[in-house]
Amino acid sequence: AQAAQPERGTYIVHVAKSEMPQSFEHHTLWYESSLKSVSDSAEMIYTYDNAIHGYATRLTAEEARLLESQSGILAVLPEMRYELH
Amino acid sequence: TTRTPQFLGLDKSADMFPESSSASDVIIGVLDTGVWPESKSFDDTGLGPVPSSWKGECEVGTNFSASNCNRKLIGARFFAKGCEAMLGPINETEESRSPRDDDGHGTHTASTAAGSVVSGASLFGYAAGTARGMATRARVAVYKVCWKGGCFSSDILAAIESAIQDNANVLSLSLGGGMADYFRDSVAIGAFSAMEKGILVSCSAGNAGPSPYSLSNVAPWITTVGAGTLDRDFPAYVALGNGLNFSGVSLYRGNALPDSPLPFVYAGNASNATNGNLCVTGTLSPEKVAGKIVLCDRGLTARVQKGSVVKSAGALGMVLSNTAANGEELVADAHLLPASAVGEKAGDAIKKYLFSEAKPTVSILFEGTKVGIQPSPVVAAFSSRGPNSITPQILKPDLIAPGVNILAGWSKAVGPTGLPVDNRRVDFNIISGTSMSCPHVSGLAALIKSVHPEWSPAAVRSALMTTAYTVYKTGAKLQDSATGKPSTPFDHGAGHVDPVAALNPGLVYDLTVDDYLGFLCALNYSASEINTLAKRKFECEAGKQYSVNDLNYPSFAVLFESGSGSGVVKHSRTVTNVGPAGTYKASVTSDAASVKISVEPEVLSLKENEKKSFIVTFSSSGSTQDRVNAFGRLEWSDGKHVVGTPISINW
């Protein structure tokens, strides 16, 4: 029997870019590395550099919690829905 | 926008705004439902080459190619990955996976901000005239972020990311979400980055009025726009069988009703449902409404949806009555059947007739378009209201602009009601909301920017706010549609925008990124929260006294902390003279008898471009009984300019 998969949601991951370890040549490589450390399957939906420093991805709540505890991660905020006025 | 340019005085002052390259170098980015590029509002006749600073693109997708862009519509992108991650792939048989607008809202807002001049515009003959955006020569870049499933924060951030890279000058966002701290709100976060790059971000205040604390988009680096009425109306009289006549509004055009009065029925008496009065789908009994005119109460479902329900039940017409939630505000709709919307008082009187008359009858008389309606503007009942629930010391909304019954471009993918059953197609539609007032201010900000390209976003906003008006030409105070009484700064902010006066404001209250960082320190944000919001490692100075009251904002929201009725609150401000050298004198008016307001110094002599600071002291001596909201105004004047700032006081 297949175990129920934990539900994934979209999160916006805010990163302290200035804390990027020198071993990374580009910030996107650092983002990918930190994402891989909490999830084998999660992919980046967007990477941002002007509006925020960070990226959007799909995670389980547990993965989001783990990611948020990592060094250099400022916040992992759930996707919000806005409405036209 | 066949009326707003005249209403705002733009027609008489055309020579004050440049026709040349400076006006056409300004680029307005509109984050919305996309664009209908074939709309005449995006005709590029007379526009020169695309500004060399522009780095945007015209993205290809469903029913949209690069050739859909031109010298007016210079950019069109779409952002669907966040929506698709949440809801699955966009169903391309239902909506275009491209910048194309299948909704109409985005075409309406973009054409309001910067649409080209289109003569012969109207909706079924209503509001006929020459339609034009506020900044007719500005360029438009469209960023589609809203889909049938909603507008998602990851897509909005991606659009702001692109707009910054593309070099847009003004961003217009007619959307909002819940109330969240600035460091959790993607629009506030993205807007901070845009502001930092010199981009003015104008957002709608929301349509959750008249409830207090109902604002969205309240970050101080955002220009928050509420809505007011125009001096235009679309009367449709409701004539009862007893001879009484009530004023309503309508945009209906189609088969006329019979000349003789028709049987009239209250929806609540033509339904077995407990909420039958609301004309919700499936609640009307066809045998009780067929061949009649039905009175429905507003609430729960869209106004035009009620018209569709009434029509499909076999009725011939509808009277739509406001309830206490909407008061006397009349919002016109292009209903699918003959219909008139009436205010609460008229609705109550009509219901009295319906309940007392054995065989009630009614006629609806459509009168077309009327202009010169007074008083106007009136704050729209739906326009969201202060106080600011995130930072009560920052007064929001910033100002109001036209947002009721606005005609502007529309998508040919959808009818004017937006209902799937509406097969009508129109070039222009008339709709209402702070979504409509926001792009008015975006376009006006672009105009100011074209005249004063060196001004910061805060300086442009300050000019728009300090020159806004709060009284009619008669001297009477602006009214609130929700109450019929004078509106307050919690309703109208600094007042109604006056773009011609804003070109020459005399003094401005300017703000830099550092000022906003100090504001975040005053909010006791942690280093991590500031980094999330402002993308930088910033440490608030340990020994420094930061105060929200000292943010150089062009308004004063005075908050006496609870505990006692008395207290002293000081706000410091710095003005920059953007006009010729002059001596400005302060004057304060207030309706708060128990609060003494003093300005130090009372006179400021400023050279051109000189900055000078002053302190306003608010001393409350009131008892607990006096602890209600109070309002006032501080004006600096050199005899030629009046630099007005609203004051709100609460305990």
* Angle made by CA atoms A41, A46, A50, in degrees to the nearest 5: 145
Distance from the Cα of A47 to chain B's closest Cα (Å) equals 8
How far does CA B328 lie from the centroid of its chain? Answer: 19
Question: Given this model, what pLDDT does residue B593 score?
Answer: 87
Distance in Å from the first CA to the final CA of chain B? 41
ipTM above 0.85, yes or no: yes
Question: Given this model, what pLDDT does residue B24 score?
Answer: 76
Q: Going along B174-287, which residue ranges are E strands? A: 175-176, 200-204, 223-228, 232-233, 236-240, 245-246, 248-249, 262-266
B346: which residues sit within 8 A by CB, 6+ positions away? B238, B246, B247, B248, B321
Asked if B175's CB is within 8 angstroms of A83's CB, the reply is yes
Q: How far apart are CA B427 and CA B405, in angstroms?
A: 16
Region B98-118: mean pLDDT is: 98
Distance in Å from the first CA to the final CA of chain A? 47
Instruction: Give the number of A-B residue pairs with CB atoms closer than 8 Å.
Output: 125
Asked if B154's CB is within 8 angstroms of A56's CB, the reply is yes
- Minimal Cβ distance to B81: which of A14, A45, A52: A45
- Give the model confidence (pLDDT) of B70-79 as tens digits: 999 999 999 9
How far does CA B34 lie from the centroid of its chain? Answer: 18
Task: Name the phi and psi angles at B339, rounded to 5.
Answer: -150, 150
Among residues B633, B493, B618, the alpha carbon closest in space to that of B558 is found at B618
- Give the model confidence (pLDDT) of B542-577 as tens digits: 999 999 999 999 999 999 986 555 689 999 999 999
Distance from the Cα of B335 to chain A's closest Cα (Å) equals 20
Question: Given this model, what pLDDT does residue B624 score?
Answer: 59
Q: How far apart are CA B512 and CA B515, in angstroms?
A: 5
Chain B contact set for A42 (CB, 8 A): none
- Minimal Cβ distance to B434: which of A49, A79, A85: A85
SS3 B390: coil
SS3 A78: strand
Distance from the Cα of B569 to chain A's closest Cα (Å) equals 35
Asked if A74's CB is within 8 angstroms of B105's CB, the reply is no
Chain A contact set for B438 (CB, 8 A): 85
* Angle made by CA atoms B250, B421, B322, in degrees to the nearest 5: 35
Q: Is the pLDDT confidence value at B623 over 70?
A: no
Q: Are B640 and B582 in contact (CB under 8 A)?
A: yes
Q: How far apart are CA B540 and CA B538, in angstroms?
A: 6
If pLDDT is split at 50, 70 and 90, which confidence band does B135 have?
very high
Asked if A48's CB is within 8 angstroms of B85's CB, the reply is no
Read off the tokens for B336: 């699918």
Nearest-10 crossing angle of helices B457-466, B434-451: 110
- Give the model confidence (pLDDT) of B195-239 as tens digits: 999 999 999 999 999 999 999 999 999 999 999 999 999 999 999
Asked if A74's CB is within 8 angstroms of B531's CB, the reply is yes
B542: which residues sit within 8 A by CB, 6+ positions away? none
Alpha-carbon torsion B120, B227, B634, B462, what sign?
A: negative
Please spell the DSSP secondary structure of B101-134, one letter per residue: -SSSHHHHHHHHHHPPPEEEEEETTEEEEEE--S
If pLDDT is split at 50, 70 and 90, which confidence band does B327 have?
confident
Asked if A17's CB is within 8 angstroms of B535's CB, the reply is yes
Asked if A80's CB is within 8 angstroms of B185's CB, the reply is yes
- Minimal Cβ distance to B153: which of A74, A75, A82: A82
Q: Is the pLDDT confidence value at B115 over 80?
A: yes
Question: Given this model, what pLDDT does residue A2 score?
Answer: 61
- Give the model confidence (pLDDT) of B450-490 as tens digits: 999 999 999 999 999 999 999 999 999 999 999 999 999 99
- Minimal Cβ distance to A83: which of B85, B150, B194: B150
- Give the model confidence (pLDDT) of A50-71 as tens digits: 999 999 999 999 999 999 999 9
Asked if B32's CB is within 8 angstroms of A85's CB, the reply is no
Kindly tell me the burial class for residue B52, based on how many C-beta atoms sit within 10 Å of its own C-beta (0-12, 13-18, 19 or more).
exposed
Owner of token pair 């074939």: B38
Distance from the Cα of B563 to chain A's closest Cα (Å) equals 36
SS3 B445: helix
Residues 1-60 of A with CB under 8 A from B: 10, 12, 14, 16-18, 45-46, 48-53, 56, 58
Chain A contact set for B180 (CB, 8 A): 80
Question: Given this model, what pLDDT does residue B592 score?
Answer: 87
Question: Given this model, what pLDDT does residue B469 score?
Answer: 98
Which DSSP helix (H) or strand (E) runs through B637?
strand B630-637
- Give the model confidence (pLDDT) of B174-193 as tens digits: 999 978 999 999 999 999 99
Asked if B151's CB is within 8 angstroms of A50's CB, the reply is no
Q: How far apart are CA B42 and CA B409, in angstroms?
A: 9
**What is the identity of the amino acid at A31?**
Y
Over the Cα atoms of chain B, what is R_g? 25
- Give the model confidence (pLDDT) of B14-39 as tens digits: 667 766 667 779 999 999 999 999 99
Q: How far apart are CA B144 and CA B151, in angstroms?
A: 9
Please spell the DSSP secondary structure of B43-62, one letter per residue: --TT--SPPTT----B--BT
Question: What value does the mean pLDDT of chain B take?
Answer: 95
Q: Are B398 and B224 in contact (CB under 8 A)?
A: yes
Count CB neighbours of B624 within 10 A: 9
% of chain B at pLDDT higher than 70: 97
Question: Given this model, what pLDDT does residue B625 score?
Answer: 59
* Per-state percent for chain B, helix, strand, coil, to nearest 5: 25, 30, 50
- Partnered with residue B131 across adjacent β-strands are B118
Region B311-324: mean pLDDT is: 96
B275: which residues sit within 8 A by CB, 6+ positions away? B283, B300
- Give the model confidence (pLDDT) of B247-261 as tens digits: 999 999 998 899 899
Among residues B318, B319, B274, the alpha carbon closest in space to that of B300 is found at B274
Q: Please list the active-site residues of B.
A: 32, 105, 435
Q: Is the pLDDT confidence value at B527 over 60?
A: yes
- Minimal Cβ distance to A82: which of B161, B176, B433: B176
Q: Is the pLDDT confidence value at B332 over 70?
A: yes
Interface probe for A, chosen from B79, B108, B153 (most Cβ of A below 10 Å), is: B153
Chain A contact set for B152 (CB, 8 A): 10, 79-82
- Partnered with residue B604 across adjacent β-strands are B584
**Distances in Å between the alpha carbon of B256 and those of A49, B194, B338, B364, B471?**
58, 51, 7, 10, 41
Question: Given this model, what pLDDT does residue B20 score?
Answer: 64
Task: Name the phi and psi angles at B410, rounded to 5.
Answer: -140, 160
Q: Reading across the β-sheet that carries B630-637, which strands appear in turn?
A: B556-559, B642-650, B630-637, B582-590, B603-606
- Give the model confidence (pLDDT) of B40-86 as tens digits: 999 999 999 999 999 999 999 999 999 999 999 999 999 999 999 99
SS3 B189: helix
A32: which residues sit within 8 A by CB, 6+ positions away? A44
Among residues A73, A33, B184, the alpha carbon closest in space to that of A65 is found at A73
B153: closest chain A residue by CA: A80
